[in-house]
Amino acid sequence: MFERVNVKLNVNGQAHELLVEPRKLLSDALREDCRLTGTHVGCEHGVCGACTVLVDGRPARACLIYAVQMEGHAITTIEAIAAQGRLSALQEALHEEHGLQCGFCTPGIVMTFEAFLRKRPDPSEGEIRQTLSGNLCRCTGYHNIVAAIRKAAARMRGEENHAGA
Amino acid sequence: MKPAAFTYHRARSLADVFALLATHGDAAKVIAGGQSLGPMLNVRLAQPDHLIDLNDLHDLSYVRDAGTVIAVGALARHDDVASSELVRSACPLLAEAAGTVGHYAIRQRGTMGGSLAHADPAAQLPLVAVALNAEIDVASARGRRTLPARDFFVSVMTTALEAEEIIVEVRFPRLGAREGSAFELFSRRHGDFAIVAAAATVALDGGRRVARVGLTVGGVDAVPVSLEELAPRFVGREANAEWCAGFAQAARERIEPADDPRIPAEYRRELCAALARRALERAIAQAIGR
Amino acid sequence: MPGPEFTSIGKALPRKEDYRLLIGAGRFVDDIEIPGALVATFVRSPHAHARIVSVDVEAARGCPGIVAVVTGRELGEWTTKLRMAPPIEGLRPVEMSTLPTDKVRFQGDPVVCVIATDRYLAEDAAEQVVVEYEPLPAVTDMWQALQAEAPRVDEALSSNLVSHQTFSHGDPAARRREAYKVVEATFSQARQTHLPIETRGCVAVWDPGRQHLTLTIGTQAPHPLRTQLAARLRLTESQVSVVSPDVGGGFGQKIIFYREELTVAALARALGRPVRWREDRMENLIAASHAREDFCRTRAAVTKEGRLLGLELELVEDFGAYCFYPANYLARVVAMILTGPYKVQDYAFDVKVVLSNKCGNGPMRAPMAITSWVIEGTIEAIARTLGLDPAEVRRVNMLRKEELPYTMATGEVLEDITPRETFEAALSAVDYAGFRERQKRARHEARYLGLGICVVVESTTYGSRFYKAAGIPGSGHEAAWVRVEPSGAVNASVGLGPTGQGYETSLSQAVAEGLGVDPKDVRVHLGHTDIAPYGMGSRGARGGTAGGSTLYLAALDARAKMVAIAAHLLEVAESDIELKDGRFSVAGTDRSKSFAEVARTAYLDPLALPQGMSPGLDFSKTYDPPAMTYSNATHVCMVDVATDTGAISIERYVVAEDCGTVLSPVVVEGQQHGAIAMGLSGALFEQVFYDENGQNLSATLADYLVPTAAELPNFEVIAMHTPNGRTPAGVKGMAEGGVMGAIGAVLNAVNDALAPFGVVADRQPLSPQYIRALLRGKVAKEAS
């Protein structure tokens, strides 16, 4: 049962060939085998949301998936969001609104909302807070994160200018 | 914590699933969304030698209009059920409940079959299944059979599934004219498991008299509790605030929740009454609108 | 002290830290790859209290991937014990081994360490370790702990009372006899835990060639940790480096040097291979460190108008099983500052700290969190008893500006604080009178709205004189260096340990202010003990005052030398030199030297320097802040309580705050939000729940609750900053007062909402079942 298996992962459009035990969590495989450490581990029981990645474009807790399950699926992690080093609208808004402090929960929040804002481009503050409820933050009290998400949503709808854009 | 080691099997068809279950029996567990089983595996509360992955059974992932019922495949994800236009119009109770399961990311992966098979006493979908007396189709190498939801949930995290059976489809009745439903849940935080939850269904006659009423409560017993035996007392009367309060009080008196170190039984009774009242009021409002 | 015309301090600049954190390129301990590193995991006691009869590791040693399995016995050979015996009155000395060998004292106490090639295999082997225990009766309640016949948690002590301090000033007993009324009130805070989203972890690398240990660890206090680590391993401090990279939150949990970390370091040396460790969330919840669980009783002697004549405090804290931190310290601060913004000189306290069979306590953001709730709740109790408006009772007792500086009964001096001003501003912002009208109308509709006020006076900084006066060994000074490189780039460092509070940004503003450059040209280096000067770390809201001030002063020295060089090169008097836009210019002319030219000269052309001036631009500074500085604020929380379910919803939250000169308003506002959130979290959700056998029932995030974004309100912050007269830039310190204020404000709000029922909530968390328990069987008195 400790036999490792070959697993082909598609992460951020790149192929990775892993040799891992079937029980290896996707969160660990991304961090250790793919060397993508932007996905963070906060609880390993699916509550804190720090490990959120996208699987076929939909947010998922990487700690509740075994790497071996992901053959044939497309995984997107935080490292793919800032294309060519340029921050996305959401990342930029988080920066402007001081929506992060220690930054440990931040990638999970970015991944959740990069997906959510594309499905729901004009959310109310209540909807934002409800969707954000799946990501725990101990530093910010969420106020600035919510403000950043509203700002990003407005910009993505084309309603506000980017600073300097 | 990391799970104990297991051998992984990726089922490509139902036949694969049955063959694997036949071979490995009790030493195997099936995994669908993994949102309930994953945490249990990670903390080693469950340590199956074999894990059978159902996620490739795309044929089981659907939401279909089947005439008088809405048919939901076992692999349908909660978010797909909650956002389905068909479910929202034809079976709003199901859409409402599915939209409250956990959090956004959890709803992208959690499945109908997984939630029903897990049978948590406070979970939304078992509660709705019982409230609407959904039909649950289960299958094994021996064939397919149908169980009414009311017979499906046996005890805490225990169902009537036999060895080597898996859920394949669940059928929910359509909501008719002059019918209404509502789902209420109480938890400490948004997205937590309910402490108590209630599902109400109401049918009105041509006026405002109650023709039929159903109330099912979760979190107060080992399985969802249907309070249908209270209905006769309340049928034929006018559906107003006082009526709702009366039914809620009767529900409160009827249930027998257990005490637990952190939540006294009396509190569950109080929640039952509060949620039942709100659910009934909203169900009536919805019925009037239809 | 300079005036308010700062060019960098006080600017709302976005953070330098953000880029790497946003793109997933932060470097937290687990992100740092150390080739060949082994992984440690711990076998922990399932019992709250038990003798260790035997430990059998043979089966575990034979498991795949296992390199070593060690117990407290081997660790006892490689390390010294910890002796915690500061010469403090009333504090009993305690000693603890690296890992226990004779008995375990709480569920989760680490007993065996398994080292493997990966964590999965380590956990498999850990399940094969067989420890035979003889369970002992457990102490799981502070009152039980105080009883003479209670089982003893630490057998080296004669009882579970590890600290007892008393104090009296004036004659509180006489004031009680004279009083119109004596009002008694009680307050209970639950056991909590810090819950940083990044759990504890570290990597230890021993270099046998250099005989040098490097420990990479997320810590708030790198240098003190280095000192302890070296001592415990019998190494010299020059043989140890501690490197703290990005840290996913600390909140006080990452100050203490833990037994697991020492074990990992000792093993790296013994095995000659790097060893890393990461605790999982369950371990973090049951075995890292806990906090709070304190009970207070006040007795207030008052006049008919509600004026305080005398005040007495009784406090008991359940400190858990081990003193990772001096047991007297946290409780003592509560007693020391309790009277807050109110005038009362006849004051006495009795503070007891007991041991129990639970995870040991450590300082958690605002260790004195209960303070403001206690004094403000006492004021509320006075108002209730006398039938007075709680706002008026505050006005009767609160210090006025003219009465400052004010020496509290405990000797603390309050100056440069503005409680009354923030109080009036906050009440005005929420339209206090208008709310009372709305509340009355709502009550007629059986809706229960409440408004809670909490005036906070927050002790911050803790200079050396504070420690001396309190008899606590240790210093409150800070150390920094500022260096201008030959190219004109600016590097700086200070002995703080960042855990998310934006020091790279705010401290660069302090340096930039002193030096006269742009903050983006300043790089602040933190957390590496070989680079940063020996500092006391981050705690007690000292970062801005102690760290920022030291850097500012060092930067002023740097500017002074550069001005002298520029003046010499330009052949004018120093007073004719202006530094603007990166150039040293002669006032009224276009003659100038660039910042870079002056720097280059300092390093590479020393003969061009003024007579007697040494080359280079390297400035070290230490600064000992005042014994204490104080910030203050008034918090107002408005709630709606659903009496059928007990659910509390926060409708509005306003805080008017004065935290002195603010280095970065962006960072300060974020800190205020976070502190308030943590206070609300404790008041409404958090509880480490032990059953009567000492089993921790809150070992997952599904059971230990902190609020999500859906439970918290927006925070309206009214900035009313006034400088401190004694610190170099007028900084006061902040970041804990929000916790204190939120607890008091929400508790008072809920009690205000439930007043018609004649009930008083006196404990946290305000779970809905607790609210229902208060209301059960009660009816609301008709609204008048």
**What is the count of structural domains for chain B?**
3
The string of DSSP letters for C301-339 reads EE-TT--EEEEEEEEEEE--S--SS-TTHHHHHHHHHTT
Q: What is the pLDDT of residues C18-71, one digit of tens each?
A: 999 999 999 999 999 999 999 999 999 999 999 999 999 999 999 999 999 999
**Which range (C321-330, C423-432, C717-726) has the least confidence?**
C321-330
Task: List CB contacts (< 8 A) between C706 and chain A.
Answer: 136, 138
Contact C282/C355 with Cβ under 8 angstroms?
no
Q: What is the DSSP code string of B197-243?
A: EEEEEEEE-SSSBEEEEEEEEESSSSS-EE-GGGHHHHTTSB-SHHH
Reported ipTM exceeds the 0.95 cut: yes
Q: What is the spatial distance between Cα C312 and Cα C300, in angstroms, rounded to a whole number?
A: 7
**Interchain CB contact of B40 with C (< 8 Å):** no
The answer on A53 and A20 residing in a single domain is: yes
Give C188-227 pLDDT, tens digit per residue. 999 999 999 999 999 999 999 999 999 999 999 999 999 9
CATH number, residue B257: 3.30.390.50
Instruction: Record the tokens describing residue C186, joined without a space.
Output: 């009680």
Give the model confidence (pLDDT) of C743-770 as tens digits: 999 999 999 999 999 999 999 999 999 9
Cα distance from A165 to chain B (closest Cα, Å)? 32
Query: What are the structure tokens assigned to B283, written together?
Result: 């169900």
DSSP reduced 3-state for A142: coil
Residue C31: closest CA among chain A residues belongs to which residue? Answer: A37
pLDDT at C783: 55
With CB atoms and an 8 Å threshold, state whether B262 touches C120.
no
**Which pLDDT score is estimated for A90?**
98
AA letter at C258: Y
Same-domain pairing of B110 and B202? no
Question: What sign has the CA pseudo-torsion C220, C223, C224, C229?
Answer: positive
Mutant choice from B30, B56, B103 vs A, greatest count of A C-beta within 10 A: B103
Last residue of a domain, one of B126, B151, B173: B173
What percentage of chain A exceeds 90 in pLDDT? 93
Phi/psi at C149 (5° precision)? -90, 5
What is the residue range of C733's domain?
290-464+626-775
Tokens 């909501």 correspond to B175
pLDDT the model gives residue A162: 57
Q: What pLDDT is recorded for position C95?
A: 87
Residues in chain B within 8 Å Cβ distance of A22:
5-8, 51
Residue A60 lies in a domain: yes
Collapsing DSSP to helix, strand or coil, C512 comes out as: helix
The residues, ordered by sequence, that sit 6+ positions from B35 with a Cβ below 8 Å of its Cβ are: A46, A61, A64, B102, B106, B109, B110, B114
Residue given tokens 């100038």 in the structure block: C592
Distance set, CA B62 to CA B76, B107, B198 (Å): 6, 15, 26
Residues B117 and B161 both lie in one domain: yes
Q: Is the pLDDT of residue A31 over 80?
A: yes
pLDDT surpasses 60 at C483: yes
From the list A103, A132, A142, the residue facing C26 with the nearest CB is A103
Query: Among the residues of chain A, which ranges form H helices?
Result: 26-28, 89-96, 106-119, 125-132, 143-156
- Using one digit for the tens of pLDDT, what is the confidence trace for C79-119? 999 988 877 778 888 888 999 999 999 999 999 999 999 99
The pTM (predicted TM-score) of the whole model is 0.97
> Which B residues, 43 through 62, put their C-beta within 8 Å of a C-beta on chain A?
43, 49, 51, 53, 55
Q: Would you say residue A164 lies in a domain?
A: no
Question: Tokens 């709502």, residue?
Answer: C442
Amino acid in position C13: L
Within a domain: B239: yes
Calpha distance C111→C99 (Å, rounded): 6
Alpha carbon of residue C272 to chain centroid: 36
Residue A125 and residue A70 share a domain = no
- Chain B neighbours (≥3 Cβ pairs under 8 A) are A, C
Based on the fold, state whether residues C320 and C369 are members of the same structural domain.
Answer: yes
d(CA C779, CA C534): 61
| Host domain of residue B123 | 60-173
Q: pLDDT at residue A165 above 50?
A: no
HEC string of C56-121?
ECHHHHCCCCEEEEEEHHHHHHHCCCEEECCCCCCECCEEECCCCCCEECCCCCEEEEEEECCHHH
- CATH number of domain containing A25: 3.10.20.30
DSSP at A16: E
Instruction: Decide if C70 is inside a domain.
Output: yes
Asked whether residue A137 falls in the same domain as residue A118, the answer is yes
Out of A30, A62, A80, a domain closes at A80
The reply to whether residue C18 touches residue A95, judged by beta carbons under 8 angstroms, is yes
C569 vs B240: CA distance, rounded Å: 92
Chains with 3 or more CB pairs closer than 8 angstroms to C? Answer: A, B
Q: Residue B212 pLDDT > 50, yes or no?
A: yes
Give the dihedral sign, CA C122/C125/C130/C135: positive
SS3 C689: coil
- The CATH number of whichever domain residue A136 belongs to comes to 1.10.150.120
**Residue B76 and residue B38 share a domain:** no
Mean pLDDT of B62-67: 96
Average pLDDT over residues B130-148: 97
Question: Burial of B232 by CB count in 10 Å (0-12 exposed, 13-18 middle, 19+ buried)?
Answer: exposed
Average pLDDT score over residue span B228-251: 96
Q: How far apart are CA B49 and CA B27, in angstroms?
A: 5
At residue C1, the pLDDT reads 41
The domain that contains B32 carries what CATH number? 3.30.43.10
- Tell me the pLDDT tens digit for each residue of A49-61: 999 999 999 999 9
- Segment holding C684, helix H or strand E: helix C665-684
Q: Are C656 and B282 in contact (CB under 8 A)?
A: no
Mention every residue, 6+ apart, whose C-beta is less than 8 A from residue B127. B97, B183, B197, B199, B216, B217, B218, B224
Residue C712 CB neighbours (<10 A)? 23
CA distance C403 to C522: 42
Percent of chain C residues topping a pLDDT of 90: 89
Residue A143 lies in a domain: yes
Residues C359-393: pLDDT tens digits?
Answer: 999 999 999 999 999 999 999 999 999 999 999 99
Q: Are residues B70 and B168 in the same domain?
A: yes
Say how far residue C156 (Cα) sits from the centre of its chain: 30
* Chain mean pLDDT for chain A: 95
Q: Touching check for B58 and chain C: CB below 8 Å?
A: no
CATH, residue B82: 3.30.465.10
Domain endpoint, select from C623, C644, C670: C623
Average pLDDT over residues B8-20: 97
Nearest CA in chain B to C702: B192
A112/B5 CB distance under 8 A: no
The more confident residue out of C283 and C783 is C283
Q: How many CA atoms lie within 13 A of A161 on its CB side?
A: 3
Give the DSSP letter of residue C23: T
Q: Which of A18, A46, A80 is the last residue of a domain?
A: A80
Q: Within chain C, what is the greatest distance between any pair of CA atoms?
A: 89
A98 to chain C, closest Cα gap in Å:
7
Per-residue model confidence as pLDDT tens digits over C496-533: 999 999 999 999 999 999 999 999 999 999 999 999 99
Point out the residue among C281, C669, C708 whose CB comes nearest to the CB of A45. Answer: C281
Q: Is the pLDDT of residue A33 over 60?
A: yes
> B6, A5: Cβ pair inside 8 Å?
no
Q: Give every CB contact of residue C275 below 8 A, 6+ residues apart in sequence.
A: C37, C38, C39, C40, C115, C203, C204, C264, C265, C267, C268
Average pLDDT over residues B60-88: 97
Number of domains in chain A: 2
Nearest CB to C120 within list A21, A110, A141:
A21
Residues C70 and C39 in one domain: yes
CA distance C613 to C101: 61
CA pseudo-torsion sign C357, C363, C364, C368: positive
The Cα of C673 is separated from the nearest Cα of chain B by a number of Å equal to 19
Judgement on whether residues A104 and A67 belong to the same structural domain of the protein: no
Average pLDDT over residues C229-240: 97
- Domain membership flag for residue A71: yes
Query: Per-residue confidence at C173, pLDDT binned at 50, 70, 90?
Result: very high
Residue A64: give the domain boundaries. Answer: 5-80
Contacts of A44 in chain C (CB under 8 A): 280-281
Of A61, A80, A99, which residue is a domain's last? A80
Instruction: Answer whether residue C577 is part of any domain.
Output: yes
Question: Would you say residue A108 has pLDDT above 70?
Answer: yes
The region of weakest confidence among A1-5, B183-187, C207-211, C702-706 is A1-5
CATH of the domain at C490: 3.30.365.10
Rounded to an integer, the average pLDDT of C256-264 is 97
Nearest Cα neighbor of B115 from B65, B151, B150, B159 is B159
Q: According to the model, what pLDDT value does residue C318 have?
A: 97
By the 8 A CB rule, do C592 and C585 touch?
yes
Together in a domain, B126 and B183:
no
Q: How far is A93 from chain B (nearest CA, A)?
A: 21
State which residue of chain A sits closest to B102, comparing Cα positions: A134
Phi-psi region of C762 (alpha: psi -120 to 50; beta: other; left: phi over 0): alpha
Q: Does the distance separating the beta carbons of B2 and A59 come in below 8 Å?
A: no
Last residue of a domain, one of C605, C623, C641: C623
C576 plus C661 within the same structural domain: no
The verdict on B35 and B72 lying in the same domain is: no
CATH number at residue C78: 3.90.1170.50
Q: What is the 3-state secondary structure (H, E, C) of C725-771?
A: CCCCCCECCCCCHHHHHHHHHHHHHHHHHHHHHCCCCCECCCCHHHH
CA distance C744 to chain B (A): 21
The answer to whether A163 contacts chain B (CB < 8 Å) is no
For chain C, give the mean pLDDT: 95
Name the residue facing C708 among B39, B190, B262 (closest C-beta).
B190
Which of B189, B264, B273 is facing C708, going by the closest CB pair? B189
pLDDT band at A164 (very low <50, low <70, confident <90, very high): very low
pLDDT over 70 percentage in chain C: 99
Single residue among B155, B173, B191 that ends a domain in this structure: B173
CB–CB of B5 and A21 under 8 A?
A: yes
Shortest distance, CA A129 to any CA of chain B (angstroms): 10
Tokens 């070593």: give the residue: C68
